[in-house]
């Protein structure tokens, strides 16, 4: 439940039901998945602020072959696996301040029951029929494809390998509803946002003709069983999509709960660009078949991608919200991801760019304005200012920029242009900073006759901050609340935002806190790089195949006698250029001096080896390693984790001695 920190009552407007995609519980969500939850949260908070009666649903998508396989390789049951990941996802959503009203899990019993009822209903209606399936299945996407749909033999959505699949299955008659769907698109031009996505759906999928969709699987178990034919489980997308109605109390056999009656149809489904097809073709068609009204809008956002190379688990460089929050705090992370995403395109994230935005926008523009204004109000007026109405032209310009931001931000939010909305608010802070330079309060302060003018200037600054910070509240709520507290103000009622001069008097704190401290990029990046290296090493260790002592066939003493083993002493040693693993050793073996190249550089430094006696095979055929002829092999023990120890005589003995 949200704490009410708004000042005054805003009239309660109509309901607003919004949802995110439900995240797969196949692993910890990275910052890209988390972006969607933050995006939807900022919309939910903005709508609440406008006075809408908001219901915000998010959750987890927990069935399917991919999850069954992951659980198996983790050695746990699928339910144990999804319980852990769902907790982790919920924990991250909470950490970044996602103010959901409902967190649905597709393993919730009431959801599973409705999925079964929905399947039965569509079967009884004749929209689902039994047939047999032959085609290709992409497990990561949980999608079926026909031969002709594959691109270079791979999944057309994600480009990964697909598996041949032949099974008895249930099908949904998609084509039956194609015309009705096209008609709906035409009558509701606002249904798909951005509009470019609509054209993609029409041209790539609807016009070429919809194929019937396979809606059951029988080659794995982890799903909702079809209750009249339990060797089949319901196709994961049919199961997942229905969360939007089951989560609020839809009942396939009845009217549904009061909440459902109040909230459905949803006002917007917020999803990523990769799953627009499922939400604007399959989902509306399932709803048509169920005689349920369609959602008002589907907004497909772009993706947040890692700058400077692909995120890869094995490199340890995947960016997670909890790491980012631990370095920079929740609001800085929210601010970054929301501003990094242009509406129609993908956005980029890197540790460096987050630091840059915190320093250049949050600390230099917002934080600096707040701290300068509080400091001057304290210094010149003991912390209290009112409008003494000594107005100059520059004031009108400031007020106009502040007040006009309200409509601009609202318009951008109506189009889901979140980055643009925030940019309008930043323009206000920038304008106010410029106003300080223009009015030069420190000069006014030197002339007592300008005291009233100075008061007006500071009052205008406080009011500008009050309005713009209130507007920013839905995006970075904790910081805005903290900032407004320092002015002893609440978030201003939405319908009073355009009233510049609302407060008679504003009093500021005597002990201001820094909202965003400037970050020393060098210090933070050193620590981040260390974390990435450690993570990568830990992952490699985890993934390293355990070396088992291979059992070799028995040999006789003659076989063993073919190997010549001797003691040698290392007289010189250096690293082999261009190789991380190799060392070049000069070894004296009695009267002979040989060069030996050995793969022990990760375990021993050259200095350590000089003077050491060790055991060598001396009759191996010489071999070239990195262009250097090696004339022997050093004997080493190696444990299952790859740790090395060379063999050395137990007591001192001359080099050149034979080993038998």
Residues whose CB falls within 8 Å of the CB of residue 352, separated by 6 or more in sequence, listed in order? 521, 525
Residues whose CB falls within 8 Å of the CB of residue 187, separated by 6 or more in sequence, listed in order? none
Dihedral angle at the C-alpha atoms of 139, 144, 145, 151, nearest 10 degrees? -30
d(CA 640, CA 544): 9
Shortest distance (Å) from residue 304 CB to ligand ME8? 4
β-strand pairing of 304-306 with 347-349 = parallel
Interface with ligand ME8 includes 35 (CB under 6 A)? yes
d(CA 271, CA 459): 43
Which span (21-29, 385-393, 509-517, 532-540) binds ligand ME8, by CB under 6 A?
A: 21-29
Shortest distance (Å) from residue 289 CB to ligand ME8? 17
Interface with ligand ME8 includes 159 (CB under 6 A)? no
d(CA 494, CA 48): 10
Shortest distance (Å) from residue 457 CB to ligand ME8? 43
Q: CB-wise, 344 or 438, nearer to ligand ME8?
A: 344
**Tally: H helices and E strands in the chain:** 23, 27
CB of 205 closer than 8 Å to CB of 281: yes
CA angle 585, 589, 595 (to 5 degrees): 30
Which span (299-307, 428-436, 527-535, 622-630) binds ligand ME8, by CB under 6 A?
A: 299-307
Q: CB-wise, 304 or 601, nearer to ligand ME8?
A: 304
- CB-CB neighbours of 28 under 10 Å: 18
Interface with ligand ME8 includes 275 (CB under 6 A)? yes
Subset of residues 79 to 98 that bind ligand ME8, contact rule: CB under 6 A: none
Which of 41, 38, 44, 59 lies closest to 103, judged by CA?
Answer: 59
Interface with ligand ME8 includes 235 (CB under 6 A)? no
Shortest distance (Å) from residue 19 CB to ligand ME8? 8
Among 115, 238, 240, 358, binds ligand ME8 (CB under 6 A): 240
d(CA 320, CA 532): 12
Q: CB-wise, 87 or 274, nearer to ligand ME8?
A: 274
Which span (172-180, 211-219, 267-275, 350-358) binds ligand ME8, by CB under 6 A?
A: 267-275
Residue 251 token pair: 């009942």
Interface with ligand ME8 includes 21 (CB under 6 A)? yes
DSSP H stretches of helix in 280-392: 283-290, 321-328, 330-339, 351-357, 368-381
Question: Which residue's CB comes closest to ligand ME8?
Answer: 272
Q: CB-wise, 61 or 395, nearer to ligand ME8?
A: 61
Which span (167-175, 186-194, 259-267, 271-279) binds ligand ME8, by CB under 6 A?
A: 271-279
Among 17, 24, 55, 351, binds ligand ME8 (CB under 6 A): 24
Size of the site for ligand ME8 (CB under 6 A): 18
Question: Hey, which bits of 448-544 come out as E strands?
Answer: 505-507
- Tell which phi-psi region holds residue 243, choosing left (phi > 0), alpha (psi between -120 and 50) or beta: alpha
Among 205, 303, 320, 500, binds ligand ME8 (CB under 6 A): 303
Q: CB-wise, 275 or 585, nearer to ligand ME8?
A: 275
In DSSP terms, which residues pair with 18 in a beta bridge? 56, 268
Among 18, 23, 324, 472, binds ligand ME8 (CB under 6 A): 23
Interface with ligand ME8 includes 118 (CB under 6 A)? no
Interface with ligand ME8 includes 500 (CB under 6 A)? no
Shortest distance (Å) from residue 36 CB to ligand ME8? 5
CA angle 198, 199, 205 (to 5 degrees): 90
Among 82, 192, 271, 285, binds ligand ME8 (CB under 6 A): 271
| Residues in contact with ligand ME8 by the rule CB under 6 A | 21-24, 32-33, 35-36, 61, 240-241, 271-272, 274-275, 303-305
């Amino acid at each position: 439940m949200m704490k009410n920190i708004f000042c005054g009552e805003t009239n309660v407007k109509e309901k607003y039901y919004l949802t995110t995609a439900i995240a797969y519980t196949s692993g910890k969500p990275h910052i890209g998945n988390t972006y969607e939850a933050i995006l939807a949260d900022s919309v939910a908070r903005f709508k609440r602020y406008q006075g809408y009666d908001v219901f915000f649903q998010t959750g987890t998508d927990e069935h399917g072959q991919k999850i069954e396989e992951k659980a198996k390789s983790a050695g746990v049951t699928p339910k144990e696996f999804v319980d852990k990941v769902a907790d982790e996802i919920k924990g991250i959503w909470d950490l970044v301040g996602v103010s959901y009203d409902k967190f649905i899990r597709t393993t919730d019993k009431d959801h599973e029951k409705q999925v079964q009822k929905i399947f039965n209903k569509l079967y009884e209606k004749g929209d689902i029929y039994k047939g047999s399936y032959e085609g290709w299945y992409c497990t990561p996407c949980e999608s079926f494809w026909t031969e002709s749909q594959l691109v270079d033999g791979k999944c057309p959505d994600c480009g990964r390998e697909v598996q041949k699949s032949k099974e008895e299955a249930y099908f949904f008659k998609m084509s039956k509803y194609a015309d009705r769907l096209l008609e709906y698109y035409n009558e509701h031009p606002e249904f798909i946002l951005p509009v470019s996505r609509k054209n993609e759906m029409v041209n790539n999928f609807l016009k070429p003709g919809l194929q019937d969709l396979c809606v059951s699987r029988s080659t794995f178990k982890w799903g909702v069983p079809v209750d009249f034919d339990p060797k089949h489980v319901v196709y994961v997308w049919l199961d997942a999509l229905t969360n939007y109605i089951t989560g609020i109390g839809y009942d396939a056999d009845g009217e549904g709960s009061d909440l459902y009656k109040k909230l459905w149809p949803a006002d917007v489904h917020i999803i990523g660009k990769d799953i627009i097809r499922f939400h604007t073709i399959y989902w509306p068609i399932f709803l048509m078949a169920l005689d349920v009204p369609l959602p008002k809008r589907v907004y497909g956002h772009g993706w947040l991608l890692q700058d400077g190379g692909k995120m890869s688990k094995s490199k340890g460089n995947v960016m997670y919200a909890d790491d980012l929050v631990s370095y920079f705090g929740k609001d800085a992370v929210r601010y970054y991801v929301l501003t990094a995403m242009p509406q129609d395109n993908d956005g980029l994230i890197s540790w460096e760019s987050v630091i840059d935005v915190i320093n250049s926008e949050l600390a230099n523009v917002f934080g600096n304005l707040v701290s300068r204004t509080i400091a001057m109000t304290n210094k010149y007026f003991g912390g209290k200012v009112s409008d003494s109405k000594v107005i100059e032209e520059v004031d009108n310009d400031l007020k106009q920029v502040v007040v006009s931001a309200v409509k601009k931000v609202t318009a951008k939010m109506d189009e889901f242009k979140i980055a643009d909305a925030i940019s309008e608010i930043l323009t206000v802070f920038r304008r106010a900073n410029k106003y300080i330079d223009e009015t030069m309060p420190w000069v006014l302060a030197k002339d007592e006759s300008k005291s009233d003018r100075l008061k007006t200037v500071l009052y205008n600054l406080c009011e500008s901050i009050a309005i713009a910070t209130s507007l920013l509240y839905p995006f970075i709520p904790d910081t805005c609340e903290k900032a407004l507290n320092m002015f002893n103000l609440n978030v201003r009622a939405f319908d009073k935002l355009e009233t510049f001069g609302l407060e008679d008097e504003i009093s500021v704190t005597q002990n201001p806190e820094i909202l965003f401290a400037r970050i020393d990029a060098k210090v933070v990046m050193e620590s981040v790089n260390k974390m990435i290296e450690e993570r990568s090493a830990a992952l490699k260790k985890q993934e390293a195949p355990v070396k088992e002592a291979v059992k070799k066939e028995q040999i006789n003493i003659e076989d063993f006698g073919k190997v010549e083993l001797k003691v040698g002493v290392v007289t010189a040693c250096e690293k082999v250029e261009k190789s991380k693993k190799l060392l070049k050793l000069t070894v004296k073996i009695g009267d002979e001096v040989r060069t030996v190249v050995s793969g022990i550089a990760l375990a021993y430094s050259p200095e350590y080896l000089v003077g050491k006696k060790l055991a060598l095979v001396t009759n191996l055929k010489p071999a070239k390693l990195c262009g250097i002829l090696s004339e022997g092999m050093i004997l080493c023990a190696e444990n299952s984790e790859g740790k090395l120890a060379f063999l050395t005589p137990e007591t001192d003995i001359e080099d050149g001695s034979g080993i038998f």
